[in-house]
Structure 1
Amino acid sequence: MLIELQGLRKRYNLGQSNEAEVLHGIDLRVQRGEFLALMGPSGSGKSTLLNILGLLERMTEGDYRLLGDSVRGLPDAELTLRRRGTLGFVFQFHHLLPAFTALENVTLPALMHAGRASAQADARARELLDAVGLAAALHKRPSELSGGMQQRVAIARALVMDPPLVLADEPTGNLDTASSDDVFALLRRIHAERGTAFIVVTHDPRLAARCDRLVELVDGRIARDEPVAQLSPVAPPR
């Protein structure tokens, strides 16, 4: 099992008059190699849930087991190590460093992990940039790349440490339709070729329909969790 959540709750402003609970007892299991869409209206708790899955925020109650081990109560330093070794991230905005080349941006996680970019990390980054169709753009900076190309660099960066899971938060939300389709097709190809699991937050029902499983959050609770093949055409979030 890759992920197992049991009774996960998240509250903000604990003990204050404006205390608010945004996740209300989430139970969720994700197997290795799944390709899952996470949908829901604004304010449903998607970003909070993704931040907890990414070890960027702590839960208030419940348990989160990652690769069989509970992460509840682990110190920040241990959470950082687990995040680096287990998770890749792709965001709506690529967050590339503008002064770095595409190759340097992709090797950055290895640099942060080991304190230096080894020859092995450099070779891995080159391989990934070739895999995402950017072998000719190794030494170009983000300002020299289109939006779709920048997002491909971000995808390569997310994969450079070979994580079993990539969390993608609206990865095509800042792209035009053609670039969006290209980037999503790339995610599906990586999934098929490498067995990497993906949890993709999206507002686009077209993209959700191309995933294998749909989890919909409404008001901090899971409203449905079904294989996409068993669903009628995915409706836009309510």
Structure 2
Amino acid sequence: MTMHATELLSLRGLRKAYNVGQPNEVEVLHGLDLRLDQGEFVALIGPSGSGKSTLLNILGLLERPTGGEHHLLGQAVQDLGDDELTRLRREALGFVFQFHHLLPAFTALENVTMPALVRDGHVGSAQRARGQSLLEAVGLADAMDRRPAQLSGGMQQRVAIARSLMLEPALILADEPTGNLDTASSDEVFRLLRQVHGQGRTAFLIVTHDPRLAARCDRVIELVDGRLARDERTKPAA
């Protein structure tokens, strides 16, 4: 029996322009059609100025498109109000950035459980236990009580990855997650992303300029001048 993939998000004719109605109006994304399914591990590549950051902001529900349709987990995103967008972002998405954005005054465990604190107003025993298990999963069982300044760059990024998974999102958006690391740390963090991906049904969309890392994803989407230039399945490298 053939198993059908479950759609996570879809874009149909998605457009994004800035300074709409002004003499300097410029359209950055030109009618994108894209589908991501649950559990995919996808690289998003493209030259600077291709629209990757704009697309990521739209997928992260941080910006609204100026045209087309955007569905996430079956919801028509373009029809949602700001409060509904905030709720959906919090419940469905996790974020990993080039710079870890950890809070320096808090321990690794406190940073990981911060999304639960923001959502619920407190961190209960169940959330604390999940934070501990996530730090164990990323190899930081012995560093839970350390503050970011006491961790290496690669370790800080591992904390950020654990934090992104705290609320069990359907999709992780990772913007150059290894871009601030040396080659060894970069490979370590990428291996961790693949490992975490293999343990659940969370999908990953990873923006990268590193062709080595893109080749190790299951699918590569290339954006050029605000249009999809390539969308192909790849065989992950060992």
In structure 1, distance between residues paired with 2:127 and 2:42: 29
Q: TM-score, normalised to structure 2's length?
A: 0.95
Secondary structure at the counterpart of residue 229 of structure 1: coil
Aligned to 2:3: none
Percent identity between the two aligned chains:
68
Query: Secondary structure of the equivalent of 1:29?
Result: strand
Q: How does 1:129-208 map to 2 (within 5 A)?
A: 129-208=135-214
What is aligned with 1:24?
30
Which region of structure 1 is more displaced relative to structure 2, 67-76 or 183-192? 67-76
Aligned with residue 88 of structure 2, among 72, 75, 82: 82
Taking the aligned partners of 2:130 and 2:166, their CA distance within structure 1 comes to 7
- SS at 1:223 equivalent: strand
SS at match of 1:59: coil
For 2:16, the aligned partner's letter is: K
Task: Provide the rounded CA distance (Å) in 2 between the counterparts of 1:116 and 1:58.
Answer: 31
Deviation above 4 Å: which 4+ runs of structure 1? none
Structure 1 residue ranges without an equivalent (≥5): 234-238
* Higher mean C-alpha displacement, 95-104 vs 67-76: 67-76
C-alpha separation in 2, matches of 1:92 and 1:179: 13
Instruction: For residues 145-180 of structure 1, give each alpha carbon's deviation from its aligned partner in whole angstroms, at most 9, with x where no partner exists.
Output: 000000000000000000111000000000000000
Question: Which of the residues 5, 8, 22 maps onto 1:2?
Answer: 8
Paired with 1:16 and 1:141, the residues of 2 have a C-alpha distance of: 47
* 1:236 counterpart residue number: none
Which residue does the alignment assign to 1:218? Answer: 224
In structure 2, what is the equivalent of residue 54 of structure 1? 60
Tell me the CA shift for residue 229 of structure 1. 2.9
SS of 1:15's equivalent in the other structure is coil
Distance 1:192 1:132 in 2: 13
Shift of 1:212: 0.3
How many residues were matched structurally? 231
CA distance, structure 1, for counterparts of residue 61 and residue 224 of structure 2: 22
Question: In structure 2, what is the Cα distance between the partners aligned to 1:71 and 1:39?
Answer: 24
**TM-score between both structures, scaled by the size of structure 1:** 0.95
Q: Match for 1:103: what amino acid?
A: L
Report the Cα offset of residue 204 of structure 1. 0.2
Structure 1 partner of 2:112:
106
Q: Secondary structure at the match of 2:16?
A: strand
How many angstroms apart in 2 are the aligned matches of 1:229 and 1:134? 30
1:62-108 CA deviation, whole Å, 9 max, x = no partner?
01000111110311111010001000000000000011110110010
Amino acid at match of 1:160: M
SS of equivalent residue, structure 2 residue 235: helix
1:92 and 1:178 map into 2 onto residues whose CA distance is: 16
- Which moves more between the two structures, 116-125 or 203-212? 116-125
Query: Displacement, 1:195?
Result: 2.4
8 A contact 2:216–2:235 mirrored in 1:
no
2:18 aligned with 1:41, yes or no? no
Aligned Cα root-mean-square deviation (Å): 1.1
